[in-house]
Amino acid sequence: MIVFVEDRSLVVESYKNKFEKAGEMLFRLDANDLFEWLRTGSKADLASIEAVLIGECSNQAEVVSQIRLKINAPVVAMLDNRCLESLTRLYKFGVDDVVAKPVHFEELMFRIAAIKKRIVTSVSSEITSAITVYFDGRDPEFAGAPLDLPRRERRILEYLASINGRRATKAQIFGAIYGVFDDLIEESVIESHISKLRKKLRLKIGHDPIDSKRYLGYRFNPNFVKVENQFNHALVA
């Protein structure tokens, strides 16, 4: 799930459909709603955030600093009017990248993917049995061939690969894939998605790299994942 902190709903709507077509849920919060959510949100909800976009909002620097206290995810600021003073202030408070509007949806995806790659610890390139996972909408690959997965299963695989071998609960995975604000879909759907994903991985690669423990959640073995991206550094803003 990607959170877009922006006062203008029309700006968020212009990106929402494009992100969702790529399998990313995009939700808008204004600054006050964000502060309240950071204060009251559960650890599972906050852990489901995969990136934060910051647009036009009040207390922009305070928004960044509060996000950094609670969320470990890429933070990209989007400026209407870019200037050195704004850049310096935002980087000082902890953003990972700053872009000037207008910015294309795909550029945002590539920037987020590049930041994730720096965050995620990938295994040695000598490991040849690993699943290669991208964060830019492409299917994962194994032995040079794409793993053709439905969008939700691909997103679950990407999410588990992105957390460096840590366990994720069903609630955390649901929040990342469907969004913590979605009340229309039952959380139990995650069990079905993961069951299908594990079966496909076993058939394709000969083993199941996903370990599950009751009450503790799911873990993707980091020894069987490589993180790659064609854009292996942030694009020049």
pLDDT in tens, 61-84: 889 988 988 888 899 999 888 788
Six-digit token string for 34: 């964000």
Q: What is the pLDDT of residue 129?
A: 61
**Which H or E run contains 218?**
strand 217-220
Interatomic CA distance for residues 162 and 164, integer angstroms: 6
What does the alpha-carbon distance between residue 111 and residue 21 come to, in Å, rounded to a whole number? 18
Q: Could you tell me if 199 and 184 are in contact, meaning their C-beta atoms sit under 8 angstroms apart?
A: no
- Global pTM value: 0.60
pLDDT band at 99 (very low <50, low <70, confident <90, very high): very high
213 has pLDDT over 80: yes
- So what's the pLDDT on residue 97? 93
Confidence of residue 125 (pLDDT cuts 50, 70, 90): very low
Domains identified in the chain and CATH numbers: 2-118 (3.40.50.2300), 122-227 (1.10.10.10)
| Residue 133 near residue 225 (C-beta atoms within 8 A) | yes
With a cut of 80, say whether residue 183 has pLDDT above it: no
Q: For the chain, give the percent of residues with pLDDT over 90.
A: 24
The yes-or-no verdict on residue 232 having pLDDT over 50 is no
For the ranges 23-27, 83-87, 193-197, the one whose mean pLDDT is highest: 193-197
Cβ atoms of 194 and 220 within 8 Å: the answer is no
Residue 230 pLDDT exceeds 60: no
pLDDT digits (tens, 9 = 90+) for 3-46: 999 999 998 998 988 888 777 889 899 999 999 988 888 877 78
